[in-house]
A and B are shown apart, each in its own frame.
Chain A
Amino acid sequence: MSPPLLVTEDDGQGNASIVATASSQSLDSVSPNEARLKEHNYLGLSDCSSVDSSTVPSLSNEKKNLNLKATELRLGLPGSQSPERDPDLFSLRSTKLDEKPLFPLLPTKDGICSLSQKTVVSGSKRGFADTMDPEFPGNAGINIMLSPKPSGAQLTTVKEIPSKVLQERPSAANGTGHNHTGASISGSAAPASKAQVVGWPPIRSFRKNSLATTSKNNDEVDGKPGPAALFVKVSMDGAPYLRKVDLRNYTTYQELSSSLEKMFSCFTLGQCGSHAASGREMLSESKLKDLLHGSEYVLTYEDKDGDWMLVGDVPWDMFIDTCKRLKIVKGSDAIGLAPRAVEKSKSRS
């Protein structure tokens, strides 16, 4: 009865699991916000709350069609974004173009992957695509040959420019003489990759380089390339199936607990089936709100050492680092954990 959770990766550390889409079933119970955010996380992007794309409602339909594609472990080639495209789906659609997955799935510390992630059109966090990592000569392999889109007289001058297309280089020190220009500037509706032209858009090199550095720094600080999703399984006693949450969506325990409340409310309200059958008491809504505050249910997590711990003791960042999976246990089962800790989790609200 498990819904097709399109999880393609789940290593023990709860590292970047790449979930292409939320499962269609869980869509109903998950807030639209989360569904949207999961889309983003496939690309390893920070949750772009600013991306209130009006195309989101249409996602639910397209999601089903693209489920299969979505599970393919692909990353869009650098520069393969078209601004008109919904950023979530684009990387999925880009698989239709002739691309090979050039990069390993899980980003590693080397230049390439942070590179490819950075090139993705993104929300606020991303700076410029530092697509040609200067320390990484091997990047020449990711050049794309693009066919010029003929769009009238303006492009006649372009023909004489050498046709090798390189991604935009962040020029160190104001123009190092690399005058590679794009083969074309595609028309507005081009689904194909955009050629990148030297000096366009007209942004100061210093600004471009600086933003590229910021992206890089942020990546390194996280310890993972990019603020990749941190999906962990959440199980609840008596629930017929597990859920997954991205810990990066939250910054406090309160947020996490509210979200879990919402997520698991369906199992305690109105779904008589298995609960009634097993004879368990049904939680009323108010009781449900006590999920973390009170005695009925307690949130625990399994840490890196394999021990089950009470959620809420350590600072949030440390928690994220060590949490492998979450479990909502009945209060009575949690007696083994320090009662004071339960009080603490109460006061966390």
Chain B
Amino acid sequence: MMNYFPDEVIEHIFDYVASHRDRNVLSLVCKSWYRIERWTRQRVFIGNCYSITPERLIRRFPGLKSLTLKGKPHFADFSLVPYDWGGFVYPWIEALAKSRVGLEELRLKRMVVSDESLELLSRSFTHFKSLVLVSCEGFTTDGLAAIAANCRFLRELDLQENEVEDHKGQWLSCFPDSCTSLVSLNFACLKGEVSLGALERLVARSPNLKSLKLNRSVPLDALQRIMMRAPQLADLGIGSFDHDPESEAYIKLKNTILKCRSLTSLSGFLEVPPHCSLAAIYPICPNLTSLNLSYAAGIQGSELIKLVRHCVKLQRLWIMDCIGDEGLGVVAMTCKYLQELRVFPSAPYGNPAAVTEKGLVAISMGCPKLHSLLYFCHQMTNAALITVAKNCPNFIRFRLCILDALKPDADTMQPLDEGFGAIVQSCRQLRRLSLSGRLTDQVFLYIGMYAEQLEMLSIAFAGESDKGMLYVLNGCKKLRKLEIRDCPFGNMALLTDVGKYETMRSLWMSSCEVTVGACKSLAKKMPMLNVEIFNENEQEDCSLEDGQRVEKMYLYRTLAGKRKDAPEYVWTL
């Protein structure tokens, strides 16, 4: 029937299909659908920037408006990927500019972004609207100045957790007076000062501003003035909350906060006074659906607890472990709509009186809608995990980090296999899982058996033999990303099912038992994979012997072949 529809009609139908996966499926139906789909595709997501060349992407999707790119492997977040490994965005921007693609949105994660890239970006796309950089590095405030100055219709500049060098220029002052289109501005990760006057004027002339996240250099009095000018704000990141409780500025702020009825999301508190009281924000807490205090290192647990009691509508909570098990009990009682919880450690090995399995159990009992969890604790038990699994069968993301990496069940001293096994058995929609604690091969047997929807698995200091890894590779049909560190998995596990890796985005193995020879063999069998090993030894002339153990290996499927920008220590086999 569809054959008789003119293309325009099919295009119109495809307009309603937004998700990348659905679109990908559409394009496989038949040639004409492939053709129509590629001409109408506006948003593209590339999970690994080395899986395809920019030119090839542009050839297929000339109508591209929004591009999302991810660069370095996830373990780069934890300093496991050496400096200058790769992930440069410049070639992409260059290619897009050359092809006159009408780029409007660029979202990058874990990529190296230079000032030149930002300048080129700012000058090449007249309708550029949105720049989102997450965990990127390589640029300075000069690059931001270029974006501010040249992107006339900029709506969104969202900088999340980037390492940005501050050049003490006045990048914020570079937004021209004619720029009135800002909807979202987040510069919380910047370390340097911004011109407060320029900031206030910018806010004043941005009537559509809905999201504003300040950095720690913005003092309280400026915050108050800004909030006065932007009562329509829905999402606010407070920079500095440092104040004298009896100062006029603070009293003014308290009154201003009362007027901000549209605020539903709050974050920041990057600087707080000692013994900080959060009473000033109690009035808006009942409206909050999202609260991120994971960078508010100065706030005491007791204060957090008092605050949370007011947050009845909370759906997302990012908080530090000083809230304690007791505090999580309060969260469980108060936040009945909680969907996502992240509890971060406030000290490298945790505060011993911080959160344990008890807090997690309390949450599971009180928050049935919970589907995403990131939990740093210093102990866990199988019994607790089994209870959590029973109470919360809806987990999509379950990431548990026991700070002592090899710690068994705190009560029984058994491995935590049964606990995690219960999680995967109960949570049938589980897509992402991170394990920790003492674990044998058994947990991987469970994962292979039950985790049918699992797409991403992170393993550290776990397992006993190759069998563990094989259970996972054989069982998890939807696995896309597997990252393993410090596990006794070796060549047998790596080589048993090499075809599997073409169905996945990537595999990372570090400090495991695989050898150079096995990696070479894998690379030979699978030309569609790039198998990279990192040789970080100082020796210049080391040739890799087959029997040598590989310290770090990263392999990924690609249509682009061996990449040309790899540094010297990366050997693509």
Q: How distant is the Cα of A196 from the Cα of B349 in the complex, in angstroms?
A: 9
Q: How distant is the Cα of A175 from the Cα of B78 in the complex, in angstroms?
A: 8
Q: Does B401 touch A at the CB level, under 8 Å?
A: yes
21 sample A-B contacts, Cβ–Cβ < 8 Å, listed by A number = A50-B301, A50-B354, A86-B352, A124-B301, A128-B347, A129-B348, A151-B406, A153-B488, A154-B487, A168-B348, A173-B137, A177-B83, A178-B79, A197-B405, A197-B486, A199-B78, A204-B135, A206-B162, A210-B270, A211-B295, A315-B246
Using known A-B contacts A52-B353, A124-B299, A153-B488, determine if residue A201 contacts B401 with beta carbons closer than 8 Å: yes
| Minimal beta-carbon separation of B344 from chain A (angstroms) | 7
Q: Does B346 touch A at the CB level, under 8 Å?
A: yes
Using known A-B contacts A127-B346, A199-B75, determine if residue A50 contacts B406 with beta carbons closer than 8 Å: no
A-contacting 9-mer, from B43-51, B55-63, B141-149, B320-328 = B320-328
Name the residue on A nearest B438 (C-beta).
A154
Q: How distant is the Cα of A143 from the Cα of B228 in the complex, in angstroms?
A: 51
| Chain B residues with CB under 8 A of A207 | 161, 294-295, 344
Chain A residues 147-179 with CB under 8 Å of chain B are 151, 153-154, 156-158, 160-161, 168-169, 171-179
Whether A205 lies near B352 (C-beta < 8 A) is: no
| Chain A residues with CB under 8 A of B320 | 124
B-contacting 9-mer, from A97-105, A212-220, A305-313, A333-341 = A212-220
Q: Does B461 touch A at the CB level, under 8 Å?
A: yes
Using known A-B contacts A121-B349, A200-B78, determine if residue A173 contacts B163 with beta carbons closer than 8 Å: yes
Known: A125-B300, A203-B345. 13 other contacts (CB 8 A): A50-B302, A50-B354, A122-B346, A124-B300, A125-B297, A128-B348, A177-B83, A188-B379, A197-B405, A198-B79, A204-B161, A206-B161, A211-B297
Q: How distant is the Cα of A96 from the Cα of B441 in the complex, in angstroms?
A: 39
Using known A-B contacts A154-B406, A197-B405, A202-B401, determine if residue A123 contacts B349 with beta carbons closer than 8 Å: no
Q: Does A227 touch B at the CB level, under 8 Å?
A: yes
A188: contacting residue among B82, B408, B464, CB under 8 A: B408
Name the residue on A nearest B352 (C-beta).
A83
Whether B486 lies near A154 (C-beta < 8 A) is: yes
Q: Does A37 touch B at the CB level, under 8 Å?
A: no
Q: Does A68 touch B at the CB level, under 8 Å?
A: no
Range class of the B interface residue count: 35 or more
Name the residue on A nearest B413 (C-beta).
A188
Q: Does B23 touch A at the CB level, under 8 Å?
A: no
Closest 9 CB pairs of A and B: A50-B301, A124-B322, A199-B78, A175-B79, A206-B161, A214-B297, A171-B79, A51-B353, A83-B352
Using known A-B contacts A175-B81, A207-B295, A214-B297, determine if residue A83 contacts B404 with beta carbons closer than 8 Å: yes
Whether A204 lies near B349 (C-beta < 8 A) is: no
Q: Does A126 touch B at the CB level, under 8 Å?
A: yes
A53: contacting residue among B326, B346, B353, B549, CB under 8 A: B353
* Binary interface encoding of chain B residues 320-357 relative to chain A, with 1 for a CB under 8 A from any of its CBs, else 0: 10111011000000000000000011111111111000
Instruction: Name the residue in B83, B246, B320 with the highest tally of chain A Cβ atoms < 10 Å from its Cβ.
Output: B83
Q: Does B407 touch A at the CB level, under 8 Å?
A: yes
Q: Which residues on B are within 8 Å of A, measured CB to CB?
A: 72, 75-83, 135, 137, 161-163, 189, 191, 242, 244-246, 270-271, 274-275, 294-295, 297-302, 320, 322-324, 326-327, 344-354, 376, 378-379, 401, 403-408, 410, 434, 438, 458, 460-462, 464, 485-488, 511-513, 536, 549
| Minimal beta-carbon separation of B188 from chain A (angstroms) | 10
A194: contacting residue among B349, B353, B354, CB under 8 A: B349
Name the residue on A nearest B552 (C-beta).
A179
Whether A214 lies near B78 (C-beta < 8 A) is: no
B78: contacting residue among A50, A156, A176, A204, CB under 8 A: A204
| Chain A residues with CB under 8 A of B299 | 124
Instruction: Name the residue in B75, B322, B326, B404 with the highest tally of chain A Cβ atoms < 10 Å from its Cβ.
Output: B404
B352: contacting residue among A87, A169, A201, CB under 8 A: A87
| Minimal beta-carbon separation of B456 from chain A (angstroms) | 13
| Chain A residues with CB under 8 A of B297 | 124-127, 211, 214-215, 218
Whether B189 lies near A200 (C-beta < 8 A) is: no
| Chain A residues with CB under 8 A of B349 | 81, 83, 121, 194, 201
Whether B326 lies near A121 (C-beta < 8 A) is: no
Using known A-B contacts A202-B460, A205-B78, determine if residue A210 contacts B352 with beta carbons closer than 8 Å: no
Q: How distant is the Cα of A214 from the Cα of B191 in the complex, in angstroms?
A: 11
